[in-house]
Structure 1
Amino acid sequence: MKEQKKGIILGLAAYILWGIIPLYWKLLPTVNSMDILCYRIVWSFLFMGIYILITKRGLAFMQEVKSVLRDRKKVIGIVAAAILISINWFTFIYSVSQGRVTEASLGYYMNPLVNVLLGTVILKERLNRAGIVACLLALTGVLLLTIQTGVVPYASLIMAFSFSFYGLMKKKIEISSYTGLTLETFVILPIALVYLFFFSEKGFMAYEININLLLMGAGIVTAIPLLLFAEAAKRISYIIVGFIQYINPTIMLLFAVFLFKEPYTSAQFTAFGFIWLGIAVFTYSSYLTFKKEQKILGE
């Protein structure tokens, strides 16, 4: 019980930090989205290197790296994961910088249901009746948003699907979270550095001191929630994760409406309502399944 309580606290901390991250990107209005992404990659890699040294995990890290290099499928998986998470990060940063935090929050609301969909289509997992209803409700919400705005919510869909595919890649590669994140940022690091040195309008770290410090901090705000979540996932069940993961998009949506004053009409609320209802059906179904499994184990 003590470990579970610790896991819940760590999980809450991770999702709350993810929820308030839009505030951080809003502090960088003079830096374009591609620059922020590249600095995020560079400083995340450096931060992870420092983290591995401080926690004295260098030997374990090198052993895992050797294991990855000996397995071609793992190498391909790491590269694919690096590309997917970069797409996800860029879409999120771009959405926030364009004043579309509501759309970004929608992507994270949709993510669990997209996981169910991909699990059914790719992993051939059986989709129960509640899962079908949940996915149909979410699809209805997306269609309503598309009809109301006249534009498909591409950013939301890209964020949801890129993170879900990223999760699939991570599921197939059995390595620690810190090794995974370090290798993923290392894969994209050369591209990020080439862009920053040769294609960025400003050049590498050529902003004012306060902006440069914030860009350096991008690595910290990226890595810490991921590490907290990884530790939480070891201690708590999937069903608990399912409940607390909606803290992130809920905080983002509240910021979008009340702090950033983004337009939020009754029509949008109705569309989101279908997605929330789908989430409720999916979460309740998962809870019942979890309770049933616990009862069987108890017997």
Structure 2
Amino acid sequence: MTAQTASSEGAARGFVYALLAYGFWGTLPLFMKLLAHIPAVEVVAHRIVWSVPIAGAVILALGRTADLKRALRSPRTIALAALTAGLITVNWGLYVWAIAVDRAVETSLGYYINPLVSVVLGAVLLKERLSRAQIAAVALAAVAVVILTLEAGGLPWVSLALAFSFAAYGFLRKTLPIGPSQGFFLEVLILALPALAYVLWLGATGQGHFVWSNPNDVVLLLLCGPTTAVPLLFYAFGAKLLRLSTLGIMQYVAPTGIFLIAVFVFGEPFGQARAMAFGLIWIALAIYTWSMVSQARSSRDAAQGFEHRGG
């Protein structure tokens, strides 16, 4: 097998992994709606608790326990993982709550805005220069936020909080000196003790929903583990095998799925102001994607030219 063939097969596998992850996230509101009668904090606690054995099994299967042991011996790595774990917990909690209270359209907007927020964070924190196309995309997104603010009489805080918390998580997660699957396991491991303590306290005080007299709730809460861990692990494997530009385009699958479910399944309102705002966001993302693909193509052409010159 040639290196080019192996690379193509790897990219194909990566595409399938990423598509499974984003497709799963795009349809996740259907499952989360079944949990709408359970407080978001309790749902998030169960997402954490039942993710631990799944993530742990994957680490064992991959033989990556040595990486994890090194991470556990590093106070800096643990502190950084605790920070990323806190950010993703906030993101999960807000997402679960928003789906339960019929604000799924706002969650889709938040995840549409997320890549543009990441661009802004890169410019502010890393002093990265924005291209004119990226500046135009961010400006259009800002206009969309203004339209939604005027329409609602206040900032679309759910969308902005989801976008900024996930962008900050992604930004800090890149600096975590450990692989994706090991990093996820470390995060849920750090969160597991307070999450388990909370679940046990709910059970002891009779406030919890994980009770055998209600098997439907028990099954739903048990499923919180695989519905959390599996798509994240698929994404981790896909990200290793795909170019960043390909992954960047595919990330719109999830918010598109959430948007379609919110409007056509949940029947959430989608008036003229929201239509204008989403239209601007979609134009902004088209400009951003075009800029990203163009940059990737230019870099690839430059590298090939260097190789042909014998560099």
The residue that corresponds to 1:203 in the other structure is 208
State the Cα distance separating 1:56 from its structure 2 match: 5.2
TM-score by length of 2: 0.91
The residue that corresponds to 1:239 in the other structure is 245
The structure 2 residue matched to 1:78, chosen from 77, 81, 84, is 81
Question: In structure 2, do the counterparts of structure 1 residues 251 and 56 end up closer, same or farther at CA, with 3 Å as the change threshold?
Answer: closer
Which whole-Å CA distance do the structure 1 matches of 2:62 and 2:20 have between them?
A: 24
Which letter does structure 2 place at the counterpart of 1:243?
A: I
SS in 2 for 1:7: helix
Which whole-Å CA distance do the structure 1 matches of 2:120 and 2:299 have between them?
A: 22
Q: Is the 8 A contact 1:196 1:204 kept in 2?
A: no
The structure 1 residue matched to 2:134, chosen from 131, 135, 145, is 131
Which whole-Å CA distance do the structure 1 matches of 2:194 and 2:296 have between them?
A: 44
Which whole-Å CA distance do the structure 2 matches of 1:49 and 1:231 have between them?
A: 16
Q: Is the 8 A contact 2:36 2:99 kept in 1?
A: no
- 1:91 maps to 2:98: no
| 1:165-184 alignment, distance < 5 Å | 165-184=168-187
The residue that corresponds to 1:49 in the other structure is 56
Which letter does structure 1 place at the counterpart of 2:39?
A: N
SS in 2 for 1:172: coil
- 1:147 maps to 2:147: no
State the Cα distance separating 1:199 from its structure 2 match: 4.4
Q: Is the 8 A contact 2:209 2:218 kept in 1?
A: no
The residue that corresponds to 2:46 in the other structure is 39
Which whole-Å CA distance do the structure 1 matches of 2:188 and 2:103 have between them?
A: 26
Q: Note the residue ranges of structure 1 that are not aligned, 5 or more in a row.
A: none
Which letter does structure 1 place at the counterpart of 2:232?
A: L
Which letter does structure 1 place at the counterpart of 2:278?
A: F
State the Cα distance separating 1:52 from its structure 2 match: 3.0
The residue that corresponds to 2:309 in the other structure is none
Q: For this pair of structures, how many residues does the alignment match?
A: 295
* Residue identity (%): 37
The structure 2 residue matched to 1:6, chosen from 6, 10, 13, is 13
Q: Is the 8 A contact 2:209 2:217 kept in 1?
A: no
The residue that corresponds to 1:164 in the other structure is 167
Q: Is the 8 A contact 2:91 2:165 kept in 1?
A: yes
- Cα RMSD over matched residues? 1.5
Q: Work out which of the two has the higher radius of gyration on C-alpha atoms and give 1 or 2.
A: 2
State the Cα distance separating 1:276 from its structure 2 match: 1.2
Of 89-98 and 228-237, deviating more is: 228-237
Which string of whole-angstrom CA distances, capped at 9 and with x for unpartnered residues, describes residues 110-163 of structure 1?
Answer: 110011011111122121111111111111101110111112111111111111
Q: Note the residue ranges of structure 2 that are not aligned, 5 or more in a row.
A: 1-7, 306-311
SS in 1 for 2:139: helix
Which string of whole-angstrom CA distances, capped at 9 and with x for unpartnered residues, describes residues 270-293 of structure 1?
Answer: 011111111111110111111111
Which letter does structure 2 place at the counterpart of 1:79?
A: A
Which letter does structure 1 place at the counterpart of 2:156?
A: P
